[in-house]
Amino acid sequence: MNIAYFDCFAGAGGDMIVAAMLDAGVDRQDLISHLTSLPLGPVHYQIDTVMRKGISATHFEPQTSSHASLDWDDHTHSHAHNHGTPHSHHPHENPSHSHTPSSHSHQSLSDIRRLILDTPLPTVVKNNALAIFDKLGRVEAAIHNKPVEEIHFHEVGAMDSIVDIVAACICFDALKIERVVCSPFAVGSGTLQCAHGILPVPAPATAELLRQAKAPLISGPGNFELLTPTAAAILTHFASSYGPIPSMTLIRIGYGAGSRDAHEFPNVLRVAIGQSDTESADTDSVILLECNIDDVSAEQVGQGIDLLLKAGALDVFTSPIQMKNNRPAILLSVIAEPSKNAELEGLIFRQGLTLGIRKQILQRSILPRQVVTIETEYGPIRVKTGYYDGRRVFLKPEYADCVQAAEKHKVSWVQVWQETLRKTPG
């Protein structure tokens, strides 16, 4: 099994992900050949070896035919950014740029889908790229409280983000990566300047992407933005787990450089490529909280379950049991990360559900998984896939997407489900 471990000690930008994988062995000409199939006009892809605090790294930068640096602002706030203050400069991208309405004002998610689907890129590359843009679109829609198709992506729809995302997907396919693990993400600190004013670091889209992925984060070495939304979307899409480097035999190591040469630290993203013959599934520890309930109402139990899930429990369920004196009762089971133990235990007690809680630490195995977006005649449908020993063993269209598409097209959700399975590559 080919494993990629991304060490995000200095954060990450979309360009840095591509550069790190180039440094780890992706064929440059093959990548450029694939990228030229994108209908983006004349673009020159500059790939150089640079030094960052004594570390040799690869730098990846698309340029227009006039060699003017492209816009590398990866933010997805649906408005232009003006990075004119010191703390608003992206450490991974070129800070000297401006946004123009012609380049950012009319890109919708549908526009981007059509652009990617019309290319001769491999199906797996297109599906991954579509899933990443879909992830960004849904996050953006949630932040602005709008339907996703009403969002016009000033930054996500720009040439730079399309190149970053598609290029990264090409690289993952080229290296035949079967499992991705990421370190905690260094996000930076301070603020960034945008058209709506000053925003905190991490940017809202970045924070939401990490929240949805349950990915750990740290502030990191810089007092500016270290992790961009595009990079967060790419890495959380491919990653199956987060934490220390997994057990593997190292084959290659790559360093991807950001455009800024920071004074305090090497502004690089490191990727370690290795192989493992034994780890087909990720393993981690969870805590199981259980209690018997026989003297509260079903409504009270239902509210307790809602509160536990909102507080971060991984799963909550009930089972029918029989207690002393043959009384029927409920077994409440809560599965959570060990760090959530005190919070969830306190919540159960405060809700008056029980007088005692049993606890145990359990080991669990988790298959590497990905969420891809499949284009069907009913629209895009997300599909969750799981892999064991490098083979896909799990495939399930997202029920909510199927229901939404079925209601829109006046068909049964089963029909949408079956069409999605038929369209999903084997």
pLDDT (tens digit per residue) in 55-68? 999 999 988 654 43
In the prediction, which pLDDT does 149 show?
78
* pLDDT tens-digit readout, 239-258: 988 988 988 899 999 999 99
Length in residues, the chain: 426
The rounded distance, in Å, linking the Cα atoms of 68 and 163 is 16
In the prediction, which pLDDT does 106 show?
54
* pLDDT tens-digit readout, 322-342: 988 888 999 999 999 998 999
In the prediction, which pLDDT does 67 show?
40
In the prediction, which pLDDT does 65 show?
56
User: What does the mean pLDDT of the chain come to?
Assistant: 85
Indicate the DSSP class of residue 84.
-
* pLDDT tens-digit readout, 357-404: 999 999 888 887 788 889 899 999 999 988 887 778 899 999 999 999
For the chain, the first-to-last Cα distance in angstroms comes to 19
* pLDDT tens-digit readout, 275-323: 986 546 667 789 999 999 988 999 999 999 999 999 999 999 999 999 8
Residue 190 has pLDDT above 80, yes or no: yes
Say how many C-beta atoms besides its own lie within 10 A of residue 174's C-beta: 18
In the prediction, which pLDDT does 99 show?
33
The rounded distance, in Å, linking the Cα atoms of 12 and 21 is 13
What sign does the dihedral 274-369-142-212 (CA atoms) show? negative
**SS3 of residue 186 by DSSP:** strand
What residue ranges of the chain are covered by domains with CATH 3.30.70.1380?
A: 282-366
Q: Burial letters for 189-199: b for 16+ Cβ neighbours within 10 Å, e otherwise?
A: bebbbbeeeeb
Q: Which CATH number, 3.30.70.1380, 1.10.3720.10, 3.40.50.300, 1.10.10.10, labels domain 282-366?
A: 3.30.70.1380
Q: Is 188 left (phi over 0), alpha (psi -120 to 50) or beta?
A: left
Indicate the DSSP class of residue 86.
G
pTM over 0.75: no
In the prediction, which pLDDT does 247 show?
84
Asked if omega into 39 is within 30° of 0 (cis), the reply is no
Whether the CB-CB separation of 186 and 206 falls below 8 Å is answered with no
Tell me, letter by letter, the H, E, C secondary structure of 26-83.
CCHHHHHHHHCCCCCCCEEEEEEEEEECCEEEEEEEEEECCCCECCCCCCCCCCCCCC
Question: Residues 154-160: what's their mean pLDDT?
Answer: 59
Whether the CB-CB separation of 275 and 248 falls below 8 Å is answered with yes
Indicate the DSSP class of residue 119.
S
Query: How far lies 323's CA from each of 124, 194, 269, 291, 295, in Å?
Result: 53, 60, 56, 12, 11
Can you read off the two tokens belonging to residue 233?
């979307």
Query: Confidence class of residue 261 from pLDDT cuts 50, 70 and 90?
Result: confident
In the prediction, which pLDDT does 401 show?
93
Query: Confidence class of residue 273 from pLDDT cuts 50, 70 and 90?
Result: very high
* pLDDT tens-digit readout, 68-121: 333 333 333 333 333 333 333 333 443 333 333 334 445 788 888 889 999 999
CA dihedral 231, 405, 366, 292 (to 10 degrees): 120
